[in-house]
Structure 1
Amino acid sequence: MTAETDPVRAEGPSVVTDGDEGAKLLVLDPAGEGKHGELPATWRPLAARRQVIWCRLPVDGALSQAEDVLADAAPDGPSIDLVAAGEAAGDALRLAERHPGAASHVLLVDPVPDEASELADRVRSAGTAVDVLPHSTGEPYNRVPPPLTLGHPDVVAGITKILGDV
């Protein structure tokens, strides 16, 4: 998280949770969506099949709560898939590395490349799948500059395709 956190994004809950109690999607959101305590509307189909734990990184304590979710994961418990965008990709990979076997997948949207590649290789070698989802190309025809927000429909479609359960 950068020291230049937008004070508006830092308002609201540090974590927003919705969905079933089965398999989990642990989301590290650097943009701080969900300020009013609700998931982005595009995530409703995912929350219908999984418990979504949306950690709003601009809010103090969100990253430590994500750490707690992985630390408390039981080997025979529900699967946990970790999702992160942009600068939060490194945080997601470090969490997966500190808790080997706790996350089944780490799904990255527009990760910061310098930080993510070597770390992703270490996480993969420990047995956790690491995938990069559809991302913003930054081309002039693409109106959304990188990183895509986690609420973007292309992100939800990518998660759905990779996990194959929604």
Structure 2
Amino acid sequence: MRDFNQPVRATGPGVVADGPTGAATVLVIDPAGEAPHDGIPATWRELTDRLRIVWLRVPAAPEWKSTVDKVLSMHRDDAIRAVLDVVTSGPMAADVIDLVRHHESLVRTVLLVDPEIEVDEPFARVVVRSYDGPDDRIPAPLPLGHPDVVFGVVAALNELRSTTRP
């Protein structure tokens, strides 16, 4: 497992967002703290023409659970009530699933990357899993800004959209 305790990851904003207000929202809860500047990772920017991406950088937001509660409460109180999906990885999977259980009516799905737990919730699914092989250059969990993660998330969102249409 990768070490997320590098001091540089704790600097910068705790939350960054991009994309149209009122659009379907993807809340990314990032244990690695990517997006240390004022924008989401470049690999996600193409999605912001149709999705609202809210990126929570856990190392820069030590009270991340209360931040997630606040984001979910704002979503609950939003008149439009757009679709909300959550993405997280590795060591955060169990905590995020537990948190979403208390807001299940607000969150369509939790998409997981290299979770450290077995996933047994109807609202959660694994979208990317690393393999432990000699040519695996990036230790698990994959960074949430990795292109394979973006591809897996988009594929899952497209599948969800196609199964929820009348």
1: CA distance, partners of 2:99 / 2:84: 12
* Residue of structure 1 equivalent to 2:24: 23
Asked if residue 65 in structure 1 is aligned to residue 67 in structure 2, the reply is yes
Matched-pair contact (CA < 8 Å) for 1:15–1:55: yes
1:66 CA drift (Å): 1.5
1:61 CA drift (Å): 3.3
2: CA distance, partners of 1:153 / 1:7: 25
Matched-pair contact (CA < 8 Å) for 1:26–1:52: yes
* Residue of structure 2 equivalent to 1:160: 154
Structure 2 alignment gaps of length 5 or more: 162-166
TM-score, normalised relative to structure 2: 0.84
* Residue of structure 2 equivalent to 1:35: 36
Percent of pairs with identical residues? 40
2: CA distance, partners of 1:154 / 1:58: 23
1:100 CA drift (Å): 1.9
Question: Which letter does structure 2 place at the counterpart of 1:82?
Answer: V
Question: Which letter does structure 2 place at the counterpart of 1:139?
Answer: G
Matched-pair contact (CA < 8 Å) for 2:112–2:128: no
1: CA distance, partners of 2:8 / 2:114: 23
Matched-pair contact (CA < 8 Å) for 1:14–1:61: no
Asked if residue 99 in structure 1 is aligned to residue 100 in structure 2, the reply is no
2: CA distance, partners of 1:48 / 1:140: 38
Structure 1 alignment gaps of length 5 or more: none
1:152 CA drift (Å): 0.4
Asked if residue 146 in structure 1 is aligned to residue 140 in structure 2, the reply is yes
Question: Which letter does structure 1 place at the counterpart of 2:17?
Answer: T
2: CA distance, partners of 1:134 / 1:27: 14
- Aligned pair count reads 152
* Residue of structure 1 equivalent to 2:164: none
1: CA distance, partners of 2:48 / 2:132: 29
2: CA distance, partners of 1:8 / 1:38: 16
Question: Which letter does structure 2 place at the counterpart of 1:107?
Answer: L
Matched-pair contact (CA < 8 Å) for 2:100–2:107: yes
2: CA distance, partners of 1:12 / 1:63: 18
TM-score, normalised relative to structure 1: 0.84
* Stretches of 4+ aligned residues off by more than 3 angstroms: none
